[in-house]
């Protein structure tokens, strides 16, 4: 069975509605990842200064009411800043080859006009939150297609983000990213602090970021190709800033059909081999006597034997770091549990996912879901609902909290309802870090003395762009079944 999704794009008042649910980045920063309770939250739609590029460039607006345009506009050589048309409608479009071009907006004390950034009251004692929504269509310069610079008076520690087609950079910090689609980038500086935090699509990318570039310590905000150092084509849907430091809003949820990794057993996914635990993405073991069939779904019968799968490093370890927020979802049905399991336990199959710091370990049984905390075998029942009566969807999200001592926790859903929150990982599985398996995703009957039964898997999906709340199939999709 092949399922295809037809996407629609609506353009209304400069806003984009795209990628099924919302404008994956443009509509606002409503899509957030893990909870960061140490900062208050604020949606950028409530910021004091909002430039949405739907009809006016910032150089034509006067939000601070001083009688002058808020930003100066500079365009020299082949550089250009224009309002977009066609596929770039509702955005500011920057075109620059990087060969001596100069195309940027500036709001500062020395700009000669405007200066909304300076007049906003932002300073070292207040901190700031700056958010932009943009995409890079082409990068023609080693330093990136465009840059975003922010500084406050009295400090030589400044914000500096550079945007490429395939990554973003802060000084020497960088991350691979498909920047050719719209993303929201939020830059936060706390009051009195000399460090910054950067969020991508509501998910914390890095905090404790120090100096991006050394400047004169003015209150100044620049965006674009300043002085010909950058070059390419980029579209900026909005730019917004606010006095004070604010984290993104609470997560809005994400449908697993949008996850980066997807193994659709009903489609006979060849990256996942059901008859023998192996393939380009998976490895594992099937014990003698186990029955494994991939016929529309992955069907496993493992009673008194083993049948388990491990995601290879190229599809799990390569994307999961100690602070990575991630979400895994699978759809399963338990047919029966093996009566020979230890102490008659209701454990049909086990699921493990983790990083070098800790791991989530839980079990699906015929009539329950069980969590394994730090001590192996000391299980906690999270659900007493039957899993044999129908297909059920299970989702686990890892907070990916950062280096500031915040707790690393898991949330577990069954059919869209939270059955476990604030769950601590099983540090017992950190043994794999010293055995060549620093990260781990595996499932099945991994210990035939305690786990076993018959179960089916319909799909397995995960994403590493956040700890996402559960979201069902969005309304308005056009789905064609062949």
Q: Residue 203 sits in a domain of what CATH number?
A: 2.60.120.200
- 225 and 261 assigned to the same domain: no
pLDDT, mean of residues 329-352 = 88
- 220 and 72 assigned to the same domain: yes
- 165 and 65 assigned to the same domain: yes
- 352 and 234 assigned to the same domain: no
The answer to the question of residue 251 being in a domain is: no
- 239 and 362 assigned to the same domain: no
- 90 and 154 assigned to the same domain: yes
Q: Which domain holds residue 371?
A: 256-481
- Which pLDDT tens digit goes with each residue over 145-178? 999 999 888 887 888 899 999 899 998 888 888 8
* Residue where one domain finishes, among candidates 210, 243, 276: 243
- 287 and 377 assigned to the same domain: yes
Work out the percent of the chain whose per-residue pLDDT is above 70.
82
Higher pLDDT, 200 or 330: 330
- 111 and 8 assigned to the same domain: yes
The answer to the question of residue 21 being in a domain is: yes
Which tokens go with 428? 């017992």
Selection from 205, 216, 121, 118 nearest residue 170 by Cα: 205
- CA dihedral sign of residues 318, 322, 327, 329: positive
Of the candidate ranges 19-28, 53-62, 82-91, 116-125, the one whose mean pLDDT is the lowest: 19-28
414-473-311 Cα angle (round to 5): 60
- 235 and 260 assigned to the same domain: no
What is the structure's pLDDT at 189? 93
The answer to the question of residue 250 being in a domain is: no
pLDDT, mean of residues 35-57 = 81
Between CA 391 and CA 412 the distance in angstroms is 17
- 366 and 219 assigned to the same domain: no
- Which pLDDT tens digit goes with each residue over 276-304? 787 889 988 899 899 999 888 999 999 98
pLDDT, mean of residues 448-457 = 89
- 283 and 327 assigned to the same domain: yes
Residue 117, classed as helix, strand or coil, is helix
- 210 and 138 assigned to the same domain: yes
Of the candidate ranges 93-97, 214-218, 265-269, the one whose mean pLDDT is the lowest: 214-218
* Residue where one domain finishes, among candidates 186, 209, 243: 243
* Residue where one domain finishes, among candidates 243, 269, 285: 243
The model's confidence at residue 335, banded by pLDDT at 50, 70 and 90, is: very high
- Which pLDDT tens digit goes with each residue over 422-447? 888 876 555 444 455 557 899 999 88
What is the structure's pLDDT at 21? 29
Between CA 395 and CA 87 the distance in angstroms is 35
What is the structure's pLDDT at 240? 95
């Amino acid at each position: 069975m092949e399922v295809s999704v037809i996407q629609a794009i609506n353009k209304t008042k400069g806003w984009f509605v795209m990628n099924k649910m919302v404008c994956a980045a443009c509509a606002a920063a409503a899509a957030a990842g893990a909870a960061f309770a140490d900062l208050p939250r604020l949606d950028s739609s409530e910021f004091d200064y909002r430039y949405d590029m739907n009809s006016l460039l910032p150089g034509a607006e006067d939000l601070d009411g001083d009688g002058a345009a808020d930003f100066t506009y500079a365009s020299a050589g082949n550089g250009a800043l224009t309002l977009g048309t066609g596929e770039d409608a509702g955005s500011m479009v920057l075109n620059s080859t990087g060969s001596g071009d100069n195309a940027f907006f500036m709001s500062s004390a020395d700009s000669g006009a405007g200066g909304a950034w300076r007049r906003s009251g932002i300073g070292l004692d207040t901190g700031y939150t700056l958010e932009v929504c943009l995409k890079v269509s082409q990068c023609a310069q080693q330093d990136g297609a465009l840059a975003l610079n922010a500084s406050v008076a009295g400090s030589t520690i400044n914000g500096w983000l550079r945007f490429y087609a395939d990554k973003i950079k802060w000084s020497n910090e960088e991350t691979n990213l498909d920047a050719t689609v719209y993303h929201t980038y939020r830059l936060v500086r706390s009051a009195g602090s000399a460090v910054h935090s950067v969020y991508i699509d509501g998910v914390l990318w890095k905090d404790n970021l120090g100096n991006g570039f050394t400047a004169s310590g003015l209150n100044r905000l620049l965006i674009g190709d300043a002085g010909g150092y950058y070059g390419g084509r980029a579209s900026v849907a909005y730019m917004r800033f606010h006095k004070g430091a604010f984290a993104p809003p609470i997560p809005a949820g994400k449908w697993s059909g949008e996850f980066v990794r997807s193994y659709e057993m009903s489609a006979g996914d060849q990256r996942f081999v059901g008859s023998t635990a192996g393939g380009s993405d998976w490895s594992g073991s099937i014990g003698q006597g186990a029955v494994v069939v991939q016929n529309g779904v992955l069907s496993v019968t493992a009673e008194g034997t083993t049948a388990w799968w491990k995601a290879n490093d190229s599809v799990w370890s390569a994307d999961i770091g100690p602070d990575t927020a991630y979400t895994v979802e699978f759809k399963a049905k338990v047919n029966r549990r093996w009566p020979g399991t230890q102490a008659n336990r209701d454990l049909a199959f086990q699921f493990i996912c983790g990083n070098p710091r800790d791991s989530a370990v839980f079990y699906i049984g015929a009539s329950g879901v069980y969590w394994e905390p730090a001590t192996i075998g000391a299980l906690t029942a999270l659900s007493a609902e039957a899993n044999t009566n129908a297909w059920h969807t299970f989702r686990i999200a890892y907070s990916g909290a950062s280096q500031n001592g915040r707790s690393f926790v898991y949330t577990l859903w069954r059919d869209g309802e939270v059955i476990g929150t604030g769950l601590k990982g099983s540090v017992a599985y950190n043994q794999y870090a010293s055995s060549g398996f620093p990260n781990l995703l595996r499932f099945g009957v991994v210990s035939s003395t305690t786990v076993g039964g018959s179960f089916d898997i319909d799909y397995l999906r995960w994403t590493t762009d956040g700890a996402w709340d559960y979201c069902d199939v969005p309304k308005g999709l056009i789905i064609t079944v062949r």
